[in-house]
Chains A and B, each alone.
Chain A
Amino acid sequence: MVVAITFEHVGYTYQADTPLATPALDDVSLTVPDHGYLAVIGHTGSGKSTLIQQLNALLKPTTGQLTVDEFTITPTTTNADLKPLRQHVGMVFQFPESQLFEETIQKDIAFGPQNFGMAETDALALADQMLTQVGLDASYAQRSPFELSGGQMRRVAIAGVLAMHPQVLVLDEPTAGLDPQGRQEMMALFDRLHRERGLTIVLVTHQMEDVAQYAEQVAVMRQGKLVKEGTPQEIFGDPDWLRANQLDVPRAAQFAQDLTAHGVTWPQGLPLTASALADQLAAQWPKGGAAHV
């Protein structure tokens, strides 16, 4: 297994050495394989955002170290040569539409690539290309980003990050505040990037349905600690543990568990997505007969 991301005993304390010091990460060790899809779940304030900001050294660990492909980040890493790392790790923050500032959408998307040394004409051409990739019409290129709706602004912001051609894409609640359709389209876009361009994806989210459907690996954070890590099947296979930790269970898994109480069994394991649930139910449905429930 080729490894893309390794956390080795990473700890982080905000405002270290002041009376306001608050520990946010405590001894986190974790590996993500190359082309992997990791979902990070946990309560607000559990250290998810702090964890992902380590990935492009916006925050540097106070103890331990991490590696992202060929880059190593330690507590003593200086700010001097972070550009290659920042280009390698694309970061979509919560409500990324707040990072838009240029006069035109095209210029805003081209901003990142230009910072990493791309010529202006190339960057502008790339911007047009990215615009269509995130599902916006090419005619938007010359409009101001501030004329758009919230959902469209978010697409532009994401296009701006994708234009940097990152190998690792970090997403911090990318669908928060979007309508259900926008959410689905957005998640499908990330999934396509993951499968077609082989991007390693780290997703922070509260949407367990998205985790169940797309993630290959799940990390559960609580009070700065990594409390559980495994495949979605392993994590969601134990709905009682999740509820004890005040985390949601995917709706399909919830429904399947309720059915278990009525005597339905799941030979292939608890289904986590609606389609898996439907498949397993259909397989055990008596041929042409009435339901036995």
Chain B
Amino acid sequence: MSKFLFGRYLPLDSIVHRLDPRNKLMLSFCYIILVFLANNWLSYVILIAFTLGAIRASTIRLGFFLRGIRPLIWLILFTVDLQLLFSPAGGHVYWHWAFINITQFGVINAGYIFIRFLLIIMMSTLLTLSTQPLDIATGLASLMKPLRWVKVPVDTLAMMLSIALRFVPTLMDEAQKIMNAQRARGVDFGEGGLFKQAKSLLPLMVPLFMSAFNRAEDLSIAMEARGYQDSDHRSQYRILTWQRRDTVTWVLFAVGLALILICRRW
């Protein structure tokens, strides 16, 4: 469980940690657009420099990001291989067999895809490592506010999201405890054939669901006891305020955008 880095917050005190979560969400989204705008080596070098700079500013060790990539490595390699083997013809053909062509075009595209994956994962890992889940939820809710105009129950959705996030660590602890108890009763998790592995999940999932349902019921009673009402307009304990450092990040972003627009192949 502890290897599962995506969604884990590292409590440090850096400028990246202190940025407004709304801003970090928007930046991460726009960064993805930037990644797809890049289409030659020079523009990727610029992006890599920007990403490494952001990581440096967060004071989180690079090793954490590399570990964040590990669980997704098969997905990345699969996509890269597809790109490598089935690219449309273009440039020099290195190898040809039946419908499979390895072309210059394909190799370069595969390389780009690989870098794109890496950059996007690193940036989203940076977002989750440097932002508390609850702040992400608040930020998302705040960004969704305009949807109220089209009758989307934004406040309720935000409440659901923050409750769900709040219970992720609780349920992970719970799962760990139940796994320990079942291990002590002789269960080997993650061993044996596929059928055996699936079967060994039952002693984990049944108690975990039981406990989740019980918790949900207790929580709903506790909320109602404190007068919670659905679809009311809610005030917030933590008010997000836009700081100068948030503006600075957009200046940096604009510089990056300009550089990439200049360098990319049109």
Q: Give residues in A with beta carbon < 8 Å to B.
A: 15, 19-20, 53, 56, 58, 83, 86-87, 89-91, 93, 96, 98-101, 111-112, 115-116, 146, 160-161, 164
| Complex Cα spacing A101 to B203, Å | 6
Given known contacts A15-B2, A98-B211, A146-B210, A160 and B203 CB-to-CB distance under 8 angstroms: no
Shortest beta-carbon distance from B186 to chain A in Å: 3
Please state if A111 and B207 are interface contacts (CB–CB under 8 Å): no
- The reply to whether the CB of B185 lies closer than 8 angstroms to some CB of chain A is yes
The answer on a CB contact under 8 Å between A99 and B182 is yes
Answer whether residue B165 sits at the interface, using C-beta atoms and an 8 A cutoff. no
Q: How far is the CB of A21 from chain B (nearest CB, A)?
A: 11
Cβ A161 vs Cβ B177 within 8 A:
no
Contacts of B210 in A (CB 8 A): 98, 146
- Tell me the bound Cα distance from A257 to B182 in angstroms: 44
**Across the interface, do B178 and A99 meet the contact criterion of CB distance under 8 Å?**
yes
CA distance in complex: A98, B186 (Å): 16
Contact check, A112 vs B185: say whether CB atoms are below 8 A apart. yes
In the complex, A160 Cα to B180 Cα: how many Å? 15
Tell me if B239 counts as interface (CB < 8 A to partner A).
Answer: no
B180-195 to A contact mask, C-beta < 8 Å, 1/0:
1111111110000000
**B158 interface residue per 8 A CB criterion:** no
Closest to B210 in A: A146
Closest 6 CB pairs of A and B: A115-B186, A101-B206, A91-B184, A99-B181, A112-B185, A101-B203
* Contact A98 to B183, CB < 8 A, known contacts A15-B2, A19-B10, A146-B210: no
Is A161 touching B180 in the complex (CB atoms < 8 A)?
no
> Distance in Å from the Cβ of B262 to the closest Cβ of chain A?
39
When the two chains form their complex, are residues A115 and B207 in contact, meaning their CB atoms are under 8 A apart?
no
Which of A15, A90, A146 is B184 in contact with, Cβ under 8 Å? A90
| B183, B184, B186 pick with most chain A CB within 10 angstroms | B184
Chain A residues within 8 Å of B174, by CB: 98
Bound-complex Cα distance A111 to B187 (A): 9
A98-B184 contact given A15-B2, A19-B10, A146-B210, CB 8 Å threshold? no
The answer to the question of B202 belonging to the interface, with a C-beta cut-off of 8 Å to chain A, is yes
B191 nearest in chain A by CB position? A79
User: Contact check: which of B183, B186, B207 meets A101 at CB < 8 Å?
Assistant: B207
The answer to whether B183 and A112 have CB atoms under 8 Å apart is: no
Do B180 and A53 touch (CB < 8 A)?
yes
User: Once the chains are docked, how many angstroms separate the CA of A56 from the CA of B182?
Assistant: 12
Q: Provided the pairs A87-B186, A116-B186 are in contact, do residues A111 and B203 lie with their beta carbons within 8 angstroms?
A: yes
Q: Are A93 and B207 in contact (CB under 8 A)?
A: no
Residues in A whose Cβ lies below 8 Å from that of B12:
19
- A97's nearest neighbour on chain B, judged by CB, is B207
16 more A-B residue pairs beyond the given contacts A20-B10, A98-B207, A115-B185, with a C-beta to C-beta distance below 8 A: A56-B184, A58-B180, A83-B188, A91-B181, A93-B184, A98-B178, A98-B210, A99-B207, A100-B207, A101-B203, A112-B185, A116-B186, A146-B210, A160-B185, A161-B185, A164-B186
CA distance A90 to B211 in the complex (A): 23
Q: Across the two chains, which residue of chain A brings its CB closest to B67?
A: A18
When chains A and B are docked, how far (Å) is the Cα of A93 from the Cα of B203? Answer: 15
List of B residues within 8 angstroms of A111 by Cβ: 185, 203
Contacts of A146 in B (CB 8 A): 210
* A116 surroundings in chain B (CB, below 8 A): 186
Query: What chain B residues lie within 8 Å of A58 (beta carbons)?
Result: 180, 183-184
Contact status B186-A83, CB under 8 Å: yes
Q: When chains A and B are docked, how far (Å) is the Cα of A90 from the Cα of B183?
A: 11
What's the least CB distance linking A77 to chain B, in Å? Answer: 14
> A118 vs B186: C-alpha distance in the bound complex, in angstroms?
12
Residues of A within 8 A of B183 (CB): 58, 86
Which of the listed residues A111, A115, A164 has the most CB atoms from chain B within 10 Å of its own CB? A115
Which of A15, A53, A100 is the most central at the interface, judged by chain B CB atoms within 10 Å of its CB? A100
Cα of A19 to Cα of B207 in the assembled complex, Å = 32
Contact with A along B192-227 (1 / 0, CB 8 A): 000000000011001100110000000000000000
Q: Tell me the B113-138 residues at the A interface (CB within 8 Å).
A: none
Which B residues are in CB contact (< 8 Å) with A115?
Answer: 185-187
The residue of chain A having its C-beta at the shortest distance from the C-beta of B185 within the complex is A112
Whole-angstrom CA separation of A112 from B184 in the bound complex: 9
Contacts of B207 in A (CB 8 A): 98-101
CB–CB A86/B211 < 8 A: no
List the A side residues contacting B211 at CB < 8 Å.
98
B200 to A, closest residue via Cβ: A115
